[in-house]
Structure 1
Amino acid sequence: MGFFDRLWPRKRATPVQETEQTRALVERLIVLSPSLKFARDYRERLSPALAQSVAYVREIVERLPPACEASAANWLANPHIHAFFAAPADVAPVLSRSPELHAWFESHPLAREAWAVLGMAMAERRSLGVAQHGDHVHTDVSQTTLSFDDHQVRVCGESEADLREQIVQRVVEQIALEGLAQIGADESRRDALEQERALLRTRRQLLTRQGAGTQKMVGERAVENAAELAQLQAQIDANEQALAELGLKTDALEHEMGVICDVLAHPAQHANVEMKQVRLSPMNVVIEHDAPGSGAQIEFPLARLPASPQGVRAFSLIRFARADLMPRPKLLDSGSHFVI
């Protein structure tokens, strides 16, 4: 400590208070990547980064629309359920296909209903249709129709608050998995670069040997060998530079911790949710803002996860009653006549 530091000691940065949630997330990360616990001060370094991801995701989740009742009886009354399902008779069968929903009710025998995340694939289709403006009917009008399919229910909760907390935890875990995927990609690239380096050095050694002896004395292929050696050396230099950017293998643990912390500290780059607002006709035709005619205004979130192969997915918070859950054997029987 210097003289001025003793006179005017600097205030140390206040460490981020580890909450029960961040503590649980740290333990979850250690399960996913056990080597992290051998990194220097791994808890003190992971907790602030996790806190940033949790705060970002929680703010998004708090803005999500409230859960709506998913039932045939509510199909006409709720514009969201009306838009997500083609007919009231589709609601219960489609949702009852979820093994997770059945498992949740089996593990909660006293629960009368479950709160869940309904994920869907959304498609926008352009077509020509008929539109009425005042007393005139116009044909061949360009229209956009929304359709929702591939309904999935994977996450269930005892209440809406419980469900939202589960969403926060799962999205943060997904962000952390993106960091682990980057680490895996770096290690794979390191292995490939090391193999390439060995091949390049062997090739250089062979070319150097070819330039020895009588070939070097009489000048046979001297020019060609020199040009190829120069090109080979440039490839070797590029290979060494790429390996240097990945760091030494002895620093791999610090590199892994740095990648994880960097990904968790920048959650917006790896998970994003935007709200989509549309006005729909009863046939799910999009009604433009300045177009006449009545329609139902709905708002639902679109999740964008760069690491997910599914890309963009629409989703909604729903509430589903046990009384509407169709037994799984009936679902199998109803489709058995299609089997040849």
Structure 2
Amino acid sequence: MGILNWRLNGRRRASPHSSRELEALAQEICRLSPRLRLLPRYAQRLAPHLGTALDYVRTLIAGIPAPREASPQAWATDPYVHACFGTPHDVQLIFSRSADLQQFFETSPDATEAFAVLGMDMTEKRTLGVGLEGDVMRTDVLQTIVNFSDHQVRLCGRDKPALCRQIEGRMLDQLALQGLASAAAGGVGRDRRLQEMALLGKRLRFLEGEGEGVGMRAMLGGAAAPDPDEQARLRAQLAEGDANARTASVSKDSVNALESQLLSLQTTFSDAKSYFFIERRHIRLSRMNVVTGEDSMSPSDALEFTTASIPGDPPATRTFLLVRIPRAVMLTRMRLLEEAERYL
């Protein structure tokens, strides 16, 4: 599980949120920068700002379209599945290759299906193709073709509410990472404060490099694989820095650096919509993924795709769908090996 394993048990409460819920979230967030716990009343000071972010995040999640069945059979009938995958077999193969999905079914033997987030790169290409211009069929018509690639499934749950709770956690993760990154980038002062911010910068690079359970990149994929040697060096440096921090006295400069981190988190959570958002894009596609107009005579479907703009260095944009995967779709590990051998 990730470092921020957001477990919000019980039914969701109407705003205003309970202080217990928000302070528990604040304590989880401070695992990203553990020395924030040295500040007096850190959780209480962060809680009201978290309430604002939580309302915003839940509004975003409520607007995400309902899960779609992801199966080879759905490829023929569901225009979304057809648009995102080249063949029915691609549907089965991509989901079967997800280690997180495989692990979910292995650890949930009674589950007949899983709910998951499918992250993808969505690109457009202008090209010449066959099309009607008036009543004349031409072979040099300028067309826009939409392509979906780099399919990744990392986040899954037993049902939609469980999946949405995980999505909520990843969105809050992302806001926390952004707030701490802003503090690290703006770190100035004497040696002690610079050391505090340098340690924070290393921690953030480590967390984002791990890519497991932290932020939207961990949910939607798309990040480059972390360098194992670099991650090992960062892990060792963090361990040394944390050990030194536990034995050192808390100087005034250190307190100032931690206060800067807390202030940056407060600012980010209070204005969450300026730091993270998702967009809906309406597009009409033919069965060959060619963009068509409303007045086109070619058979096409009006689709709506959800895209997340992820801040960071570098920033990223990923299109995603909520999907429901029947257990019967999943290939066994032996079948996956046989599929891999076919390409050798």
TM-score bracket for the superposition, by shorter chain length: 0.7 to 0.9
Q: Which amino acid aligns with 2:306?
A: P
CA distance in 2 between counterparts of 1:36 and 1:43 reads: 9
Q: Which amino acid aligns with 1:259?
A: S
Tell me if 1:252 matches 2:257.
Answer: yes
The residue aligned with 1:279 is: 284
Q: Check whether the contact 1:131–1:141 (CA below 8 A) recurs between aligned residues.
A: yes
The residue aligned with 1:118 is: 118
Change in CA separation of 1:58 and 1:33 when aligned onto 2, cut-off 3 Å: same
The residue aligned with 2:168 is: 168
Give unpaired runs (5+ residues) of structure 1.
1-14, 196-246
- Equivalent pairs counted in the alignment come to 274
Q: Which amino acid aligns with 1:137?
A: M
Query: 1:167-197 CA deviation, whole Å, 9 max, x = no partner?
Result: 11111111101112223333489769989xx
| Higher Rg of the two aligned structures | 1
Change in CA separation of 1:250 and 1:20 when aligned onto 2, cut-off 3 Å: closer
Q: Check whether the contact 1:118–1:316 (CA below 8 A) recurs between aligned residues.
A: yes
Q: Check whether the contact 1:58–1:168 (CA below 8 A) recurs between aligned residues.
A: yes
The residue aligned with 2:206 is: none
Change in CA separation of 1:21 and 1:98 when aligned onto 2, cut-off 3 Å: farther
Calculate the TM-score normalised by the size of structure 2. 0.73
CA RMSD of aligned residues (A): 2.5
Instruction: Please state whether the residue corresponding to 2:75 is helix, strand or coil.
Output: coil
Instruction: Please state whether the residue corresponding to 1:75 is helix, strand or coil.
Output: helix
Runs of 4+ in 1 over 4 A off after TM superposition: 188-195, 247-250
Query: 1:279-323 CA deviation, whole Å, 9 max, x = no partner?
Result: 100100000234333301111100001126461100000000111
The residue aligned with 1:51 is: 51
Q: Check whether the contact 2:193–2:257 (CA below 8 A) recurs between aligned residues.
A: no
Higher mean displacement: 152-161 or 248-257: 248-257
Change in CA separation of 1:124 and 1:21 when aligned onto 2, cut-off 3 Å: farther
Q: Check whether the contact 1:18–1:47 (CA below 8 A) recurs between aligned residues.
A: no
The residue aligned with 2:305 is: 300
Q: Check whether the contact 1:176–1:260 (CA below 8 A) recurs between aligned residues.
A: yes
Q: Which amino acid aligns with 2:145?
A: T
Q: Check whether the contact 2:183–2:264 (CA below 8 A) recurs between aligned residues.
A: yes
The residue aligned with 1:335 is: 340
Tell me if 1:269 matches 2:282.
Answer: no
Higher mean displacement: 282-291 or 312-321: 282-291
Query: 1:246-296 CA deviation, whole Å, 9 max, x = no partner?
Result: x95542221111011111111122211000111100100000234333301
How far did 1:110 drift? Answer: 0.5
How far did 1:333 drift? Answer: 3.1
CA distance in 1 between counterparts of 2:287 and 2:189 reads: 52
The residue aligned with 2:239 is: none
Percentage of matched positions with identical amino acids:
37
CA distance in 2 between counterparts of 1:253 and 1:80 reads: 47
CA distance in 2 between counterparts of 1:95 and 1:189 reads: 50
Q: Check whether the contact 2:187–2:194 (CA below 8 A) recurs between aligned residues.
A: no
The residue aligned with 1:312 is: 317
Give unpaired runs (5+ residues) of structure 2.
1-14, 196-251
Calculate the TM-score normalised by the size of structure 1. 0.74
Query: 1:2-59 CA deviation, whole Å, 9 max, x = no partner?
Result: xxxxxxxxxxxxx964356534421211222111222232122211111111111111
Change in CA separation of 1:30 and 1:310 when aligned onto 2, cut-off 3 Å: closer
